[in-house]
Structures are given as C-alpha cells and as structure tokens.
Amino acid sequence: MSSRSRYLIFALPGGLYALELGQVAEICEPKEFWPVPAAPSCYRGAMSFRGAITAVMDLAAFMGQPDEREAEKLIVLHPEIASLAFLVRRTLRIVTADQVELRQVADEPFIIGLLALPEGEEARLLDAEAITMQATATINASPPHTE
C-alpha cells in the first residue's frame, strides 16, 4: 500500500466497503439505465457512460447480500478495468493510506483486506478486478435470451 493511495469508503447493507480511488472513474447519482433481458438478477441493466455501454450491477446482491433498494450512488469503474458501475447505498468519504491501517483477512471472496478507519470502524477493501472477472463469468453463464 503506497502512502499516496486513497480509498473511497461506501456503505452496503452488509457494512462498510472501500475501493482504491484510482479504480473509480466517477461517483454520481444513479442514471437512467435499461434492463438487459435474461441477465442475472444482480445486473440492473445497462447505461451510457461517456458514450460507452456500461453494465449497472447491484453490488450488494452480487456479493450475496440483500438487494440494494436504497441505492443513492453509482460508482463507475475506470474503463481500463471494466465497463461496469456499482449501485451502492451511499458513499461516505475518501481516506488516505496514512489515515488507515490495512489488515489481512482470512480467505474472503473479493476482499483484499480490512481498512481500520480512524473512527474505530473497519471497511472491507474490495478487489475490483476479481469482482469484474466473476461478474463477466456470471453474465456469460446466463442463459441466452430467445424470442
């Protein structure tokens, strides 16, 4: 972890989570998106982001938590990582590596480690690339849509 690293802290029904800020292209209000027929239930649809089709995923549902029905924010990943956006309950703040302590975790899917925050809380640091790989496998495994 570089001392220049910064992390976006956000909330899901299962607690606090974090992404490396360098993986995030934009944080915005949920935009209009269109359903994708036969997509897994964690996919809410697709939207246009800077002229590119971007999948919109309910991150809580993808991670096995209750669906995020109170989503207030959309975290759009950098296109170099994936054309993917996460619906989340809310974004809270950005912290620097100097403000947190990164702790290792037992083998937990999609989690790099725990960030010990200054307030005594912990946020699970997500592995955006691992989520993207599994999300791609999930959408590719869904049954084809037939008319």
User: pLDDT tens across 55-86, in order?
Assistant: 999 999 999 888 777 788 999 999 888 999 99
What's the whole-model pTM score?
0.88
The band of 14, judged by pLDDT with boundaries at 50, 70 and 90, is confident
Domains of the chain: 6-141 (2.40.50.180)
- pLDDT at position 69 is 75
For 82-137, what is each residue's pLDDT tens digit? 999 999 999 999 999 999 999 998 888 899 999 999 889 999 999 999 999 998 88
Comparing C-alpha atoms, which of 1, 49, 43 is closest to residue 21? 1
CA distances (Å), 121 to each of 4, 15, 104, 117, in order? 21, 10, 15, 5
